[in-house]
Amino acid sequence: MPDIFMKQPFICLVALSLFFAACKKDETSTTPVTEPVTKYVQSIISDAGDSTALEYNMDKSLYRYITYGTSEEITAAIPSYDAGNVVKIEKATGANLNEIFTRQIISYNTLVQVTKIKFYNYDGSFSHSDSLYYGTGKLDTIYQYEYNTELEEKLVIKYAYTWDAKGNIIKLEKIYLNNQGENGTTVTTYTYDDKQNPALQIKGYYVINFDEDEVPGLLSANNIISSSSLNTTNGYTASTRNTYGYDEDKYPATMTLRSMSQYTGQELLSDSVTLKINYGK
């Protein structure tokens, strides 16, 4: 980044710093200064039997995101970079991860904000695309498009995100538009803890692990404690409750997720899973 300061003002700033330091030389600080700790997720292990491993390049950019399924299935997301930004995600499958296809192509604006993500199927055909829009510097809207056989776009879902002053997404409105099988609007509200979200330490992680419904957990400053959803048309309800165990650096070390969901007149479904999160520096 180019230096935006002129030489003379810089010298003045140094002089002022020395002056104030001299004035305070007899003062004794009793408040210890704690440097923030930056750690990177290395693995996530579920008690359900599946797990995830993250491998990094020397500059701490993500090299591979590998998922081990319960049926011995292995898949990997492999990002490609341009000027430090993720521009393509390849998906690798097979016993030796040697079956590779392009899953996502990512575009940016001049502010280096993601503006378009195109998704592809195993055979190279289009799956769908997302157009991302920003207000006051934060992602506030995603429009999802599907493609027909003539590659014509059809708008199917609008996602609208509301942020609080702490940098957390507190509401997601998912509006179905011309979408088969789903209709109406699902509104989800969230609450958070006051600890740092480890996903933010990994540049581009939310793109590599992208899911429109999971954006609150991927981009918010803190970790989700609870969510509550209601579809205004079909009466579908869902809720989650997350309980964390933190390590000495206040990073989530364990996480128990409890969820419930129900359609009107149908059986209440519930689930629980516990994750162990391992870090490296």
pLDDT by 10-residue block (mean), the chain, 281 residues: 42 37 46 68 93 93 91 90 95 88 96 95 91 94 86 88 97 85 87 95 86 95 97 89 96 96 90 96 86
Predicted pLDDT of residue 197: 95
Place of tokens 């009466």: 235
CA–CA gap between residue 246 and residue 279 (Å, rounded): 12
Q: Long-range pairs for 185-189 at CB < 8 Å and ≥24 separation? A: 185/231, 185/232, 185/233, 186/229, 186/230, 186/231, 186/232, 186/236, 187/229, 187/230, 187/232, 188/216, 188/227, 188/228, 188/229, 188/238, 189/227, 189/228
Among residues 104, 140, 132, 127, the alpha carbon closest in space to that of 116 is found at 132
164: tokens are: 């609080």
Say which DSSP state 187 is in: E
Strand 224-231 vs strand 74-82: parallel, antiparallel, or unpaired? unpaired
Predicted pLDDT of residue 203: 81
Predicted pLDDT of residue 19: 37
- Write the CB contacts of 219 (distance below 8 Å, at least 6 apart in sequence): 139, 169, 199, 200, 206
CA–CA gap between residue 96 and residue 80 (Å, rounded): 20
CA–CA gap between residue 204 and residue 218 (Å, rounded): 10
Determine the 3-state secondary structure of 271 from DSSP. strand
Cα–Cα separations (whole angstroms), residue 123 to 77, 97, 102, 120, 135 = 17, 17, 9, 8, 36
Predicted pLDDT of residue 69: 86
Predicted pLDDT of residue 34: 53
Predicted pLDDT of residue 181: 63
Among residues 213, 126, 214, the alpha carbon closest in space to that of 175 is found at 213
Q: Long-range pairs for 217-220 at CB < 8 Å and ≥24 separation? A: 219/139, 219/169, 220/167, 220/168, 220/169, 220/190, 220/192
Predicted pLDDT of residue 234: 82
Single-letter amino acid, residue 201: Q
CATH of 37-280, one of 3.30.70.20, 2.40.160.190, 3.40.640.10, 3.40.1390.10: 2.40.160.190
By the 8 A CB rule, do 224 and 216 touch? yes
By the 8 A CB rule, do 93 and 75 touch? yes
